[in-house]
Structure 1
Amino acid sequence: MTKKLLILLVFLGSFSMQSQNLVWKTNMTDAIALSNEQKKPMLILFTTADAPNNLQNEIFRTPDFAVWSRDNVILVKLDLSDVNVSDTDKEQNMKLKDAFGVNDFPQVCYASASIRKNKTTFSALGKISYKPGGAKSWISESNSILHPSE
């Protein structure tokens, strides 16, 4: 009986880990504040409604990515096709897309930012797109962007 209960708990635990949702910030001001507070760079996902889902399905929905992202970055999702975003935020998101040189979707940019005298300054750390190879490979490449000296 104890063995069956233990097996059930392990099964349910692994299922809940697979189904956990990531917390994506959609407001850049909130993301910058959290990034500075936690001293973590931002992972900014630039996407649109018609962008391929490979990055989402094969990387972001894995337990490896969930653990890695929780420990290493602040997740920011900027959907450039979202009709519910205010005109001011749309304009800001398009300027960020241009500033980071994003041409293809989806694309991830790593950055940190500081705000001084109501002026935001971004420091781009690098970009990465979807590449076949799974989450571990993608995380390894991301780590080389975030920690180039290691």
Structure 2
Amino acid sequence: MNRFIVVLLLFVGSIAAEAQEIVWETNVKKAIEVSNKTKKPLLLFFTGSDWCGWCIRLQKEVLKTAEFTKWAKENVVLVELDFPRRSNQTDEIKKQNNELQQAFGIQGFPTVVFAKATTKDGKVSFEGLGNTGYVAGGTSAWLAVANGFLKK
């Protein structure tokens, strides 16, 4: 019985550790460097993390699951562009997030944009691959939509 509990705890611990291994960049320049090195597109997550109910639901149902973690590691570079109401951000991050919100025409949260980025003469250009928000049906339904953008 004790052996079963130990094995169960190790299994649950390994799943939790795997789910925590993904990195959400907040600096888009750094994310672009990683994207260019790995040849993976950016997944730009525009969120209101501390006030947007649909953003919180998307996080819970999709973005914090083991299935999403595995998919993200193989397919994209993650970027969180947050617009919190109660949490503080640096002026640099606020400016960056506002500029990207305007550049992509983001009008509601959550919005997830898939894009490729190139830098030439210090200027960044984005090629949009598609965008989505909350998708009912959990992780597999959301990933089906995401994969549709990445296959183009």
**How would you bin the TM-score normalised by the shorter chain?**
0.7 to 0.9
CA contact (8 A) 2:43 2:113 kept: yes
After TM superposition, the structure 1 = structure 2 runs for residues 13-28 of structure 1, keeping only pairs within 5 Å, are 13-18=11-16, 20-21=19-20, 22-28=22-28
Provide Cα deviations, 1:10-60, integer angstroms capped at 9, x if missing partner. 552244314532310000110000010111001110111311211000001
Runs of 5+ in structure 1 lacking a partner? none
**Which AA in structure 1 matches 2:51?**
D
CA contact (8 A) 1:18 1:61 kept: no
In the alignment, which residue of structure 2 is the partner of 1:51?
52
Answer with 17-26 or 101-110: which moved more.
17-26
Match of 2:109 among 82, 105, 109: 105
Rounded Cα–Cα distance in structure 2 between residues aligned with 1:147 and 1:10: 38
**Which AA in structure 1 matches 2:7?**
L
Rounded Cα–Cα distance in structure 2 between residues aligned with 1:121 and 1:80: 23
In the alignment, which residue of structure 2 is the partner of 1:12?
10
Q: Does 1:124 align with 2:128?
A: yes
SS in structure 1 of the partner of residue 51 of structure 2: coil
The percent of aligned pairs where both chains have the same amino acid is: 36
Answer with 111-120 or 13-22: which moved more.
13-22
Deviation of 1:68 (Å): 0.3
CA contact (8 A) 1:45 1:106 kept: yes
Q: TM-score, normalised by structure 1?
A: 0.87
Runs of 5+ in structure 2 lacking a partner? none
**Which AA in structure 1 matches 2:68?**
F
SS in structure 1 of the partner of residue 88 of structure 2: coil
Aligned residues: 145
CA contact (8 A) 1:59 1:135 kept: yes
Provide Cα deviations, 1:75-134, integer angstroms capped at 9, x if missing partner. 100112352222x43222212112212111111101111111111111111101002101
CA contact (8 A) 2:26 2:81 kept: yes
SS in structure 2 of the partner of residue 40 of structure 1: coil
Answer with 100-109 or 75-84: which moved more.
75-84
Deviation of 1:61 (Å): 1.3
